[in-house]
Amino acid sequence: MPRALTGKNILLIISGGIAAYKVLEVIRRLRDRDINIRAVLTKGGAQFVTPLSVAALTENKVYQDLFSLTDEAEMGHIRLSREADLVLVAPASADILAKMATGQAGDLATTALLATNKPVMIAPAMNVEMWNHPATQANIATLESRGILRVGPSSGDLACGEFGSGRLAEPAEIIASVLDFLEAADAPKPLLGKKAIVTSGPTFEPIDPVRFIANRSSGKQGHAIAESLAQAGADVTLVSGPVSLPDPAGVTLVRVETAREMLAAVTNALPADIAVFAAAVADWRAADAADQKMKKDGSGVIADLKLLENPDILATISASGPTRPALVIGFAAETQNVAEHARAKRTRKGCDWILANDVAPDTGTFGGDQNEICLITDDDEKTDERWPRQSKTGVARMLTARIIDHFA
């Protein structure tokens, strides 16, 4: 018997698309968990499923008209959007995604989406060319950058007779995503009351207005750590260099470019209980960045680029005295003798823990989705914890669990 989630509420928005019929199974299975569902049916959605079928399965009134005085008296669109634990848009057509991205509010569905302050999950479904169109992809990127969750689409035969991405995720996948979200929301928050600072991504150190010194860091590991700590209840400030990633849910994001800007942002975020320095900060910067683009003069003489050492953020915070976080964690990105170099770095920087990872080109760690960690907490190599190669999300969860144990 599936575990009941009594007291949980979902606002389901059904937009137009032949895949709308699959959502009836989603409703039925979620109701098996005692999840309360209120549904908004758009005009397009009503072409594929009837209000009566949705009402029968949800055991609630189906809402359709923004300007119904009866509905506004009984259940205004503001209340409708605020009383849910999750707003689920399934299927999410190209049209409603575009309206969400641009903040339109021309009907009940889009008005509720614009008015909600609750998490939103979308399950896109459309023709493959519509899904691949740059406008749709730009809209998806915009929505995900705002923290909107997504499940699917999957690839396969489409109702239009074509094949490719754009197929609505199967009901079981949508249900699993919804249940994972609701159960995570109910999970214990052992870091509640703790404040954390996480740095992520590379830094860009300008040479001139169009060139800079940087590295291959994607920010995936730092962002995953920030999100994992937030899920455990911590109040997280994420200080990120330039990355192409969605903003993690539940964190305060501070965007920076240079190492000096990152140090200033971290210092401004103090005091904190936990600081995790996952950013790959450039070691050097140009001594005199040019105001205009540097040009070749055809002489074959190479421009003289003088470098200055950047501030050492990890060492600075580790030695920050009264404002020093109780637990300071650094990363050591090495290409050889990984554990040995990391152990020396921990001593040299004065931090509490170091997460050593091998970033040699053949590992795919920089920019990739997986990581292999050796956690070093003291000078004795016998205490090193070698974690299995896994996703960066998995590393983030293991680190969070270790942090929880430390404070416990």
CB-based contacts of 222: which residues, under 8 Å, 6+ apart? 198, 199, 200, 201, 238, 240, 276, 278, 279
Q: How far apart are CA 189 and CA 286, in angstroms?
A: 44
Annotated binding site: 283, 293, 311-314, 331, 345, 349
Catalytic residue among 4, 141, 160, 192: 160
What are the structure tokens assigned to 56, written together? 């029968």
| Cα Rg of the chain (Å, integer) | 25
CB-based contacts of 252: which residues, under 8 Å, 6+ apart? 235, 236, 237, 238
Annotated binding site for CTP: 283, 293, 311-314, 331, 345, 349
CB-based contacts of 9: which residues, under 8 Å, 6+ apart? 35, 36, 37, 38, 83, 84, 85, 86
Beta strands in 99-172 (DSSP E): 120-124, 149-150, 154-157, 163-167
Catalytic (active site) residue 160 = yes
Sign of the CA dihedral with 247 first, then 248, 254, and 260 last:
negative
Strands 62-63 and 36-41 come out as parallel
How many other CB atoms are found less than 10 A from the CB of residue 97?
Answer: 25
Phi, psi values for residue 285, rounded to 5°:
-140, 160
Nearest C-alpha neighbor of 295 from the set 209, 387, 378: 209
Q: How far apart are CA 306 and CA 220, in angstroms?
A: 31
Catalytic site positions: 160
